[in-house]
Structure formats: structure tokens, C-alpha cells
Amino acid sequence: MKAVVWHAVGDIRLDDVPDPSIQDPHDAIVRITTSAICGTDLHFVRGTMPDMKEGRVLGHEAVGVVTEVGPEVRNFRPGDRVVIPSTVACGTCSYCRAGYYAQCDNANPPRGGTVFFGGPQSAGGLDGLQAEYARVPFAHVGLVPLPETVDDAQAIMLSDIYPTAWFGARLAEIGSGDTVAIVGAGPVGQAAVACARLQGAGRVIVVDGVADRLDLARRQHAEVIDFNREDPVEAVLELTGGIGVDRVIEAVGVDAQRPAHGPAAVTDEEAHRFDEERDAIAPDQNPDGDTWVAGDAPSLAARWSVRMVAKGGTVGFVGVYPPQVQQFPFGEAFMKNLTLRMGNCNHRRYIPRLVSMVGSGELDPTPLITRWAGERDVIDAYRTFDRREAGWTKVALGLDEHGAVAPGLGTGSGTGTATTAGGRAGPGGA
Ligand SMILES: NC(=O)c1ccc[n+]([C@@H]2O[C@H](COP(=O)([O-])OP(=O)(O)OC[C@H]3O[C@@H](n4cnc5c(N)ncnc54)[C@H](O)[C@@H]3O)[C@@H](O)[C@H]2O)c1
Ligand SMILES: [Zn+2]
Ligand SMILES: [Zn+2]
């Protein structure tokens, strides 16, 4: 089968690899009809998340159709249409039963951390979902069934992006009427606008430095701040009567960038400190011109988050920070009596409810998909997404049975189009 394979930092390829097979009685095999590229995948190619193994199939977001189940999978059968949660969890241990699927004791060795598809060895070393077929462990909880009313274009956003945004809003302890800042307007930050509102936010402010991503946030009627034009902390204070926001959702992570210009541009001393941070976090970098470039201010989004929240407020961190990140403005957070919550999303906890919300029309995630890419140009799509080019906010990968762009999945489907094109991505896709 075809799959996107990680070879080295700065080197991913579309390869032919063996089809996956059932290895454990609880496994299922899923034929992928739609997959997607995530900001998390970029960390592996930029070198800011370590411990990847050559040959690893990438990807942790997918929708598909079950083709085979192991003898212990009692709740699915071939032909079922499903969305796959990004993190892998057993559903049986005390952590899973309490809803902390990302800290499952059986998918990982105890104290081992989160397991997810297409990630580092320390995150389970499992092959991922940017492929024609995937093996899903613990399929009884590792698959969520989809109703006819939720098409691929909607469902692909429920694999990781919306559950993470929902989780981020929960971490931030958003309450009725709260003023919320979302730092980062990638797919997760964009999805957090709706999730924050659904959880009660009164006002939503979004910070990023990319014009078309800020446009997309403005189209969702968030108040936007461009960190290349304004100092985001000063701008938030101005918008909030000098108090700061009640809650922050940080949706940037380790590849945070410094402003290119404007009043928040870093001083020489700060630039030096950020260079040191980046080189300590990502000793192995392999940029290709302006592609696969590690973030040049790893702790900046976290610093801004701590500075723009009101004293006594809460910051929920969903932007990913790998273990080697040691820089955090602890003293500033301490002196403001902040509550800080963070981590990997417990996807399985939120996906069934989000599927219902989409099915009932309460939530429509499709406007966030700005590009569909077919299998043949998937590496190019990765590169364009990596450079945050205009119109490439969330990239879905549609495959038809010939491995080409499925009808209606062309690159022009465009922002804000509630496309049902994913439904044509193969039998069972509707
Ligand atoms: N916790 C989880 O379970 C989980 C799940 C999915 C994604 N993530 C993480 O969430 C983060 C966002 O994911 P995404 O897919 O939206 O990624 P993305 O790379 O598309 O988005 C990141 C955005 O942050 C912006 N940005 C860069 N520096 C900034 C700064 N200093 N201040 C404000 N914005 C800045 C970028 O311009 C970009 O729009 C990533 O770190 C990803 O790994 C975490
Ligand atoms: Zn993801
Ligand atoms: Zn478990």
C-alpha cells in the first residue's frame, strides 16, 4: 500500500509499504478514506520532537471503513464506517475508565506517557494513518462509529482537531461569560473558537502572525490580534480594560515563532536566548530553504499566555512541548496565582459527543478545511502546510480507489465551503 513515511528530520516520502495485519485479538484493520496533516506531524519533520524511527508511517487523523476485526472485537464488523481517535488507549485500566485515555496504563508502560499513531518510539512507535490501511489496537475503544449524517469532510476534523480544541477549552476552565484568548490560529486554535463559545465564553480573542489564518478567525467573529503589528500582551490588556483575559488556550507549542517585525519584535538579547532554546530542543535540524524550519522562539507562546491572562486566571496548554523543553516563566505564573493545566488530549472521551453535535448540526467543522490533497502530491502538500502558505490552514488527504485525488477533492475546494466531497472518497465514504 501507499503511505507517508518518515525517513529522517527533513525527509519524508510517499512509499510502498506492506499492508498492516491483525497482530492481537483486539485489533482492527481500517481502510482509510480520508486522512489529514496535523501541526504535530510538522514537529517530527522540523526536528522539534525527537525519537522518531526511520520507516515510521506518519499520521494520526483518519476516517475509514473497517475491513477486518480480531476475534475479541465484539462491537464492530467489516463495513462499519468509523473515525479513529489519535491517541491509543485500552479502555480497561483505571486511567481509561476515569477518562484519562492519554495516560492509559496498558497502551504505554506505566509512567510511559501518551501513545499515538505515527509518532515517536516513546509514544508507542505505532504506524500511522496517512496510508491506505491502518492497524488499530484496542479497536473496541479505538474506533468511534459514524452515522450517515456525518460525512468524511466533517468527521476528519473529529479525529484530533476538535477533540483537542474541546479539551483545551476544558483545561482552560472556561466558564459562563469568560473572556478567552486563544494563542495560535492553526487548525486547533481555529476549532477552539467554537469550542470556547460552546463552553460559555463571552468574548474570544485570537492571536497569530499569519494574515489569512487571522482572517479565518475573524470570519468566525473572534477578535484578532496580529503579533507582527501589535504587541499581543499590550493589545489584550487594552481590549480588557487593563485586566487581561480570564482564560487562555495555548495552541502553538514548541514551534512558536518570534514576530518578524512590529512592537513585539525581540531584542538582541531575547533573540540570543531563543536561539539557545531552539538549538537545545532541536539539536538535529535539516531545513530545506524556508521549509521544515524549527520554531525560532520555543517558549514565546507560553510566555505571552502567562502575561496576557488576568491574575488568578487559567491557562490550558494544548500546543505540544516534548520532554526536552525546560523553559517556562514559572515565577511570573506563580506571582499571579495562575492555574496551569496541560497535556495530550483524551480523544476518546470527547469524540462520541462531538460526532453527535456535528450530526445534529450544532457544530459544523468543515469551514476549517482549506485544502484537499490527493495522494500523489501529499509531500508537496506537507511542504506547503509547513510554510503556512495562504489558504493552507487544514489539509485533508482524500484517496480514491486509484490512489488519486477523488472527484471534488481538488485543491480549489476552498475556505468556508461546507464540502461533502469526502463522502465521494470511496465506497462507504458517505
Ligand atoms: N495536546 C494535544 O493532544 C494536541 C493535539 C493536536 C495538536 N496539538 C498541538 O497543537 C499545536 C497546534 O496544532 P495545529 O495543527 O493547529 O498547528 P499549526 O502549526 O498549523 O498551528 C500553529 C499556529 O501557531 C502560530 N504561531 C506561531 N508562533 C506563534 C506565536 N508566538 N504566537 C501565536 N501564534 C503563533 C502559527 O502561525 C500557526 O498558525 C501544535 O503544537 C500541535 O502539535 C496538540
Ligand atoms: Zn493531529
Ligand atoms: Zn487504559
What CATH number does the domain containing 155 carry?
3.90.180.10
| Displacement of CA 151 from its chain's centroid (Å) | 20
Flag whether 418 is in a domain.
yes
Q: Are residues 383 and 333 part of one domain?
A: no
What is the per-residue pLDDT for 371? Answer: 79
Residues 276 and 368 occupy one common structural domain? no
84, 380, 382, 386 from 389: Cα distances, Å: 28, 12, 11, 8
Whether residues 336 and 351 fall in one domain: no
Is residue 424 predicted with pLDDT exceeding 80?
Answer: no
Structural domain includes residue 430: no
Which residue's CA is the closest to the ligand 1 atom numbered 40? Answer: 319
Ligand 1 within 6 A of CB of 213: yes
Query: What does the buried/exposed string (b/e) look like for 216-246 if buried means 16 or more CB atoms within 10 Å of the residue's CB?
Result: bbeebebbbbbbbbbbbbebbbebbeeebbb
Is ligand 1 within 6 A of the CB of residue 301?
A: yes
- Which of 342, 366, 399 is the endpoint of a domain? 342
CB of 319 within 6 A of ligand 1: the answer is yes
**58 and 199 assigned to the same domain:** no
Task: Kindly state whether residue 165 falls inside one of the protein's structural domains.
Answer: no
Average pLDDT, the chain: 90
Residue 419: its pLDDT value, please? 28
231-262 per-position pLDDT tens digit: 999 999 999 999 999 999 999 999 999 999 99
- Burial (CB count <10 Å: 0-12, 13-18, 19+), residue 23: exposed
Domain around 107: 2-160+346-424
Q: At what angle do helices 161-171 and 187-198 cross, to 10 degrees?
A: 60
* 92 and 239 within one domain: no
Average pLDDT over residues 64-76: 97
> Do both 46 and 182 map to the same domain?
no
What's the predicted TM-score (pTM) here?
0.93
The total of structural domains in the chain comes to 2
107 and 139 assigned to the same domain? yes
**CA-nearest residue, atom 39 of ligand 1:** 186
Pair (264, 375) in one structural domain: no
**Can you spell out the DSSP letters for 176-230?**
TT-EEEEE--SHHHHHHHHHHHHTT-SEEEEEES-HHHHHHHHHTT-EEEETTTS
Domain boundary pick from 315, 342, 369: 342
Sorted by sequence, the CB contacts under 8 Å of residue 95 that are 6+ apart come out as 89, 101, 103, 104, 105
> Do 211 and 299 belong together in one domain?
yes
Q: Does residue 327 share a domain with residue 226?
A: yes
Distance CA 161, CA 347 (A): 9
For residue 397, what pLDDT is reported?
A: 85
Determine if ligand 1 sits within 6 Å of the CB of residue 185.
yes
